[in-house]
Amino acid sequence: MARIHVVFGSVYGAAEQLAQTLTQTLTGKGHQAVLFDNPDLAGVIQDRPDALLVVTSTTGQGDIPDNLVPFFVALKDAFPMLNGLPYGVVTLGDSSYGDTYCGAGEQFDTLLDELGGHAVSAPLKVDACETLDPEGDALPWLDNWSAAL
């Protein structure tokens, strides 16, 4: 079973709620999953989890929610090599935003890839235009992602 660190970015609460559900689900599967309210590099990355899960909505124009920006900036500035750390990205967005659809998740996926992380499966994009039930998309994705760890 894996030690999985989960971080979330959320403005109105949907991504936060989803992150809580995904963390509980991972725990139910026997993993040691920890959800970080105020993620910092030392706690999330340098503590060397077995995997990292990023759950974020998108705000502004493809932007990362304020609560997750400090973690993203710290990661970008410190640029710690992740040496194949398995990761996953779940992004909430709205396809009516066009080019910036799920931009926050894309920024994380690009950075984690540049740092040498290993995307266990393709990032999941949950479209608020298509569903009012993010869990309906995310739980099957999580099953596959966690099974591949």
Ligand X SMILES: Cc1cc2nc3c(=O)[nH]c(=O)nc-3n(C[C@H](O)[C@H](O)[C@H](O)COP(=O)(O)O)c2cc1C
Least spacing, CB of residue 90 vs ligand X, in Å: 11
Among 30, 38, 60, 76, binds ligand X (CB under 6 A): 60
Nearer to ligand X, 10 or 23 (CB): 10
How far is Cα 105 from Cα 123, in angstroms, rounded to an integer? 8
Residue 99 corresponds to which tokens in the numbers above? 């080019």
Told to check if 128 binds ligand X by CB under 6 A, we report: yes
Told to check if 97 binds ligand X by CB under 6 A, we report: yes
Told to check if 92 binds ligand X by CB under 6 A, we report: yes
CB 112 within 8 A of CB 82: yes
Specify the 3-state DSSP secondary structure of 13: coil
Told to check if 79 binds ligand X by CB under 6 A, we report: no
C-alpha separations of 104 from 15, 31, 83 in Å? 12, 26, 23
Nearer to ligand X, 82 or 90 (CB): 90
Binding span for ligand X by CB under 6 A among 23-31, 33-41, 66-74, 101-109 = 101-109
Among 5, 6, 7, 10, binds ligand X (CB under 6 A): 10
What DSSP character marks residue 120? S
Residue found by looking up tokens 């920024």 in the block: 107
Binding span for ligand X by CB under 6 A among 30-38, 40-48, 68-76, 95-103 = 95-103
Told to check if 13 binds ligand X by CB under 6 A, we report: yes
Residues 6+ away with beta carbon under 8 Å from 110: none
How far is Cα 100 from Cα 127, in angstroms, rounded to an integer? 12
- Give contact residues for ligand X (rule: CB under 6 A): 10-15, 57-62, 92-94, 97, 100-103, 128
